Amino acid sequence: MKIMMFAHGGSLNRGCEAIVRSSTHLIKENVQNAKVYLASGKPETDQIITKLDGIYEGSSTSIKKYTFDWFLSSLKVKLFKDESYAFCKMEENTIKHIKDMDVFLSVGGDNYCYGEQPALYEIDKKVKEKGKKLVLWGCSIGVEDMTDRTLKDLKLFDLILARETLTYQMLKNVGLKNVKLCADPAFTMEKEELDLPEDWQDGNMIGLNYSPLVWKRNKKSKEAIKELINHILATTEMSIVLTPHVIIDGNNDYEILYDFYKEFKNTGRVILLPDHLTAPQYKGFIARMRFFIGARTHATIAAYSSYVPTFVLGYSVKSKGIAKDLFDEEKLVLGINDLSSSGKLISTFNEMVRDEEKIKGSLEKRIPQIKSMSYRAVDYLKELG
């Protein structure tokens, strides 16, 4: 079976790296003679994933002005409001590989959470036109993300694997029959432990991940996070590890965390992890923390899967759905509008500290079951034949 993953922007988003890395491992471990390839928006960033059989340029290209393709696509848009020809040409880097593959996995996870995806719709149509299998791999989609165009696209898939029950139930409710429930493949990702920084307090560190994405959606959240840091430093003996997980230009956790580091470094109790670690290396640090507070989903998955009590700075259905599947409730998840309230941040942090042992016990019981659901995704893939 020749499998190509697509809709991947590159591994500077360590969550995207974690999905591709862990999915490749799961597939190769469980599907005999499987070959796994990746079409990437930034293939040079994916060389760290060594188990892939091939990494291809999968970025979108622009159509050169005044060429035949430019005139034809312009005509179709103007006369018929038809963008399909233009998007097919722009996505040629991915589409040209369809003939050589058996199965296409759309791996973005939350690609459908950010409005219409006309470029992906065209790739999906081309995969099905050529008679190949099409799978949406470990997705989260909110009811607010469902449009007629999205629903039409989702009906093309041979298999949709929802990574949490909120998405699963929503997709079933809108009438989709091709949906199965699994868990995010990154729950199974191995960690890599590097040497600890000099100021690391063994067994008494709290990780903090905050992102420009959260800040853009709630500008007051940054000040509220500062007040939370002050609270932790004033009322506990713990030190704080600022933990980046996405390091893309314009969406770089390290830059916004560095602002906190400058403000608090003189306390001697705030550490900033570097911006060049791989997903397993970040997980290696997160696994040795006592608590974790995180905005990036896969940073929180690294914590959950290491039995670290975790408080989520949530902004979408995936955060709520994953927490619900772990705890049977949306435990320790604050929505985007709540993140400007230092009072809510502090009270949720205090709740996490108070319930530390209970939360660890719940995770130790539930994580093995969640990991088996990650493996179930490969069983469903094998059933496609």
Residue 382 lies in a domain: no
For residues 149 and 290, state if they share a domain: no
Q: Which residue has the higher pLDDT, 217 or 116?
A: 217
Residue located via tokens 């091709």: 178
What confidence score (pLDDT) does residue 314 get? 80
Calpha distance 88→84 (Å, rounded): 6
Check which CATH number belongs to the domain holding 75 and give it. 3.40.50
Calpha distance 278→95 (Å, rounded): 29
Calpha distance 160→151 (Å, rounded): 12
Listed residues 165, 181, 197: the one ending a domain: 181
**pLDDT level of residue 166 (50, 70, 90 thresholds):** very high
Helices (H) and strands (E) in the chain, counts: 15, 15
Query: Above 90 in pLDDT, residue 347?
Result: yes
Token couple for 6: 């697509």
For residues 226 and 127, state if they share a domain: no
For residues 12 and 63, state if they share a domain: yes
Residue 67 lies in a domain: yes
Q: Which residue has the higher pLDDT, 109 or 209?
A: 209
For residues 142 and 215, state if they share a domain: no
Listed residues 147, 181, 215: the one ending a domain: 181
Question: Structural domain tally of the chain?
Answer: 2
Q: Which of 119, 105, 252, 118 is nearest to 182 (CA)?
A: 105
Give the model confidence (pLDDT) of 312-343 as tens digits: 998 678 889 999 999 999 899 999 999 999 99
Residue 115 lies in a domain: yes
Residue 123 lies in domain: 2-181
For residues 259 and 313, state if they share a domain: yes
For residues 127 and 227, state if they share a domain: no
For residues 39 and 173, state if they share a domain: yes
Residue 191 lies in a domain: no
For residues 217 and 172, state if they share a domain: no
For residues 24 and 57, state if they share a domain: yes
Q: 141-148: long-range contacts at Cβ-Cβ below 8 A with a sequence spacing of 24 or more?
A: 141/110, 141/112, 141/113, 141/167, 141/170, 141/171, 141/317, 142/113, 142/166, 142/167, 142/170, 142/316, 142/317, 143/170, 143/317, 145/112, 145/113, 145/115, 146/170, 146/174, 147/116
89 in Cβ contact with 69 (< 8 Å): yes
Query: Above 90 in pLDDT, residue 106?
Result: yes
Residue 176 lies in a domain: yes
Which residues, at least 6 apart from 320, have a Cβ–Cβ distance to it below 8 Å? 166, 314, 330, 333
End-to-end CA distance of the chain: 8
Return mean pLDDT, the chain.
94
Q: Which of 131-140, 269-278, 315-324 has the lowest mean pLDDT?
A: 315-324
For residues 174 and 286, state if they share a domain: no
Calpha distance 355→347 (Å, rounded): 12
Check which CATH number belongs to the domain holding 243 and give it. 3.40.50.2000
36 in Cβ contact with 5 (< 8 Å): yes
**pLDDT level of residue 19 (50, 70, 90 thresholds):** very high
Residue 350 lies in a domain: yes
**CA 257: distance to chain centroid?**
19
What confidence score (pLDDT) does residue 79 get? 76
Torsion of the alpha carbons at 358, 360, 361 and 363, rounded to the nearest 10:
120
Which residues, at least 6 apart from 262, have a Cβ–Cβ distance to it below 8 Å? none
Tell me what the mean pLDDT of segment 141-165 comes to. Answer: 95
Tell me what the mean pLDDT of segment 285-307 comes to. Answer: 97
Query: Above 80 in pLDDT, residue 68?
Result: no
Helix pair angle (356-383, 342-354), 10° resolution: 90
Calpha distance 88→122 (Å, rounded): 6
Calpha distance 77→126 (Å, rounded): 19
Percent of the chain with pLDDT over 90: 86
Q: Which residue has the higher pLDDT, 385 or 327?
A: 327
DSSP 207-272: EEE--HHHHHH-TTHHHHHHHHHHHHHHH-S-EEEE---BEETTEEHHHHHHHHHHHHGGGS-EEE
Give the model confidence (pLDDT) of 204-262 as tens digits: 999 999 999 999 999 999 999 999 999 999 999 999 999 999 999 999 999 999 999 99
Residue 193 lies in a domain: no
For residues 102 and 225, state if they share a domain: no
For residues 151 and 294, state if they share a domain: no
What confidence score (pLDDT) does residue 115 get? 82
Residue 385 lies in a domain: no
